[in-house]
Amino acid sequence: MIYLDNAATTPMSKKALDVYNLYASELFYNPSGIYDVAVAVKNDIEEAKETIKHALHTLNGNIIFTSSATEANNLAIFGCLKSNFKKIVLSKAEHPSVYNIGIELQNRGFNVEFCPLQSNGQIDYEALEEILDENTNLISIMHVSNETGAINDLKKINEIRKRKCPKAILHVDGVQAFTKIKVNLDYFGVDLYTISAHKINGPKGVAALFVKNNLFLKPIIFGGGQEQNIRSGTENVPAIMAFKTAIQDVGDIDKNFEYVSFLKKIFLSNLNDLPYKNNSGDENSPYILSLSFKGVKGETLVHMLEEHKIYISTGSACSSKKSGNRVLLSMNISPNDIVGSVRISFSKNNTEHEVIEASKILKETYYNLIDKLR
């Protein structure tokens, strides 16, 4: 089996799984308890938060654990939303857990504008400068595109915000960036930042939202007041501690980036005589590669590779049941190219042999499919 859909999810590492099992069995205590073993577990959660802040290169804020990045994105936007907000600005590249919030807010009567993209998948910075004004209260723009790997310049976005709407709140979905590229929240100047465990060899069922100091969030889940009265519900301690372990197990981000760039280069070099369009530029994250193949359906390629136990996707797992691709369309990619698009997403755990074998079989599969369609 060759797994190249790491942007969708990743397997838990052995270290993370061992820690998960430890806190699910021996250290099972409720962190809200007042006896010593429960207090110890609560302290472990606080240490996990410090580990995350260290990985985000910031000390100026809090970490709120949630059940998923989708929940964290909802908490970020609905938690700071006020009825008197005059303008909310999102990008057209956002994950459904942000984009569909924008649609919902429009249906509720809010003024929501979607900033267009450049052909390389990045946000159109000139358009953003035009859209932002003194009436803007909230901005939400992802760090790395889950469809193409396009990396948005958060520092540049923050500088535009400071010029046009310095009081606006800036939220960033950092799920595909965290531990893949260098993240420095103090340097970027963002207020809210979402991360997820299952994208980095941690468990499903846990994610986190960074909240900058002095930023007030209203809860969207009510109950016992856990997570600083912002996210009620007994903490998923095994998953939180496994999340911490997965972060600690990442290794050298720069070396991983260089290695995955090498894998991507090998993969593409083996496809050099195929008729395809590369939707992911050289400056994008090497972890995510979007390709459009001429004359075939991407979905058909995915299923034919599945027969060889090679797993890729047609795009975001959260959009897999919908036709088309909103993000690629926003990059002015033609509908025909969108039909033939697939997403390959690499991991530091993939091997050179896997990438060579996958590209070889993809090439053979494409030609076999073309022959059948003639």
217 phi/psi in degrees, rounded to 5: -115, 140
Answer yes or no: is pLDDT of 203 > 70. Answer: yes
| Rounded mean pLDDT, 142-153 | 98
Answer yes or no: is pLDDT of 319 > 80. Answer: no
pLDDT band, residue 316 (cuts 50/70/90): low
User: What is the model's pTM?
Assistant: 0.96
Answer yes or no: is pLDDT of 244 > 60. Answer: yes
Q: Which of 105-109, 163-167, 367-371 has the lowest mean pLDDT?
A: 367-371
For residue 370, the model assigns a pLDDT of: 86
Residue boundaries of the structural domains of the chain: 2-9+251-373, 59-235
For residue 281, the model assigns a pLDDT of: 84
Instruction: Sort 254 into a burial class: Cβ within 10 Å, 0-12 / 13-18 / 19+.
Output: exposed
- Residue partners of 218: CB distance under 8 A and separation at least 6: 78, 79, 80, 81
Best CA proximity match to 364, nearest among 297, 304, 280, 276: 304
Active site residues: 318
Q: What is the CATH number of domain 59-235?
A: 3.40.640.10
For residue 374, the model assigns a pLDDT of: 67
Distance CA 141, CA 139 (A): 7
pLDDT band, residue 132 (cuts 50/70/90): very high
**SS3 state of residue 44:** helix
Q: What is the CATH number of domain 2-9+251-373?
A: 3.90.1150.10
Task: Please report the DSSP string for 97-110 in residue order.
Answer: HHHHHHHHHHHTT-
For residue 273, the model assigns a pLDDT of: 87
Amino acid at 258: E
Distance CA 26, CA 341 (A): 47
* Three-class SS of 183-230: CCHHHHCCCEEEEECCCCCCCCCCEEEEEECCCCCCCCECCCCHHHHC
